[in-house]
Chains A and B, each alone.
Chain A
Amino acid sequence: GAVVSQHPSRVICKSGTSVKIECRSLDFQATTMFWYRQFPKQSLMLMATSNEGSKATYEQGVEKDKFLINHASLTLSTLTVTSAHPEDSSFYICSARTGLHNEQFFGPGTRLTVL
């Protein structure tokens, strides 16, 4: 149980285009999902907390207009990187929270490369 999927697993796009990444909890409902960014050989950097039916909460320094988050249902959150630039290239990972003890289950990640 507690499986989280992400799609796509890998995407290459041109500078200036927008990219949407989906995060789904497959066998449970998640009122809260989290989006992280990970640079090579580094830890996870929390970007935002996504709450179903309400606006996402962004961490300091994360541009909300650039990284659009939508949590339209209890099993789906999306991250859209708008007008992507090469510096946005990174590994993006989502997680879904479930249970009383704040357990988070992670998706497999999405490798974004902006040319």
Chain B
Amino acid sequence: AQSVTQPDIHITVSEGASLELRCNYSYGATPYLFWYVQSPGQGLQLLLKYFSGDTLVQGIKGFEAEFKRSQSSFNLRKPSVHWSDAAEYFCAVGAAGNTPLVFGKGTRLSVIA
């Protein structure tokens, strides 16, 4: 069965510092991988996605993620965090066909001055 693990429940970083949010997945075939961000009381916004090809994918808001098959990971990174990046981040895995995405439990990012 598909599963997604986000090991960090809560991360606090200083504004301007770099960020890496971890995501590990379990899936039998090549997965489709996604990162979403959710601000309080809002829906989820797609940051970036990986289907195939280049394992380093660029997303919106200066985020990037790298697919590492050998580690079953899809970590999200940003070189310099802004206060507005404070939110909940969800990693998700999917597949072809009519299957729903499987979400991790999320990582809450706090940004301090």
Where the two chains meet, the residues of A that have a C-beta atom closer than 8 Å to any C-beta of B are 4, 6, 32, 34, 41-44, 46, 49, 51, 91, 93, 95, 97, 100-109, 111
Smallest CB–CB gap between A29 and chain B, Å? 15
- Residue B27, interface by CB 8 Å: no
- Not counting A102-B32, A102-B101, A103-B49, a sample of 18 additional A-B residue pairs whose C-beta atoms are within 8 angstroms of each other reads A4-B43, A32-B98, A34-B100, A41-B108, A42-B105, A42-B106, A43-B105, A91-B41, A93-B43, A95-B44, A101-B51, A103-B34, A105-B46, A106-B36, A106-B43, A106-B46, A109-B42, A109-B43
Residues of A within 8 A of B95 (CB): 102
CB-CB contacts below 8 Å: B1-59 with A: 32, 34, 36, 41-46, 49, 51
Where the two chains meet, the residues of B that have a C-beta atom closer than 8 Å to any C-beta of A are 32, 34, 36, 41-46, 49, 51, 90, 94-101, 103-106, 108
Partner of A100, one of B96, B98, B99: B96
A44 touches B41 (CB 8 A): no
Main secondary structure of the interface of B (DSSP, over half): loop
B41 touches A106 (CB 8 A): no
A51 CA to B42 CA, complexed, in Å? 24
B105 touches A49 (CB 8 A): no
Residues of A within 8 A of B36 (CB): 106
Main secondary structure of the interface of A (DSSP, over half): strand
Smallest CB–CB gap between A6 and chain B, Å? 7
Partner of A102, one of B94, B103, B104: B94
Residues of B within 8 A of A34 (CB): 100-101
Smallest CB–CB gap between B93 and chain A, Å? 10
The answer to whether A107 and B90 touch (CB under 8 A), given A44-B103, A49-B100, A102-B97, is: no
Per CB-CB distance, the 6 closest pairs between chain A and chain B, nearest first, are: A106-B44, A106-B43, A108-B43, A102-B94, A43-B105, A101-B51
Residues of B within 8 A of A93 (CB): 43-44
Smallest CB–CB gap between A84 and chain B, Å? 20
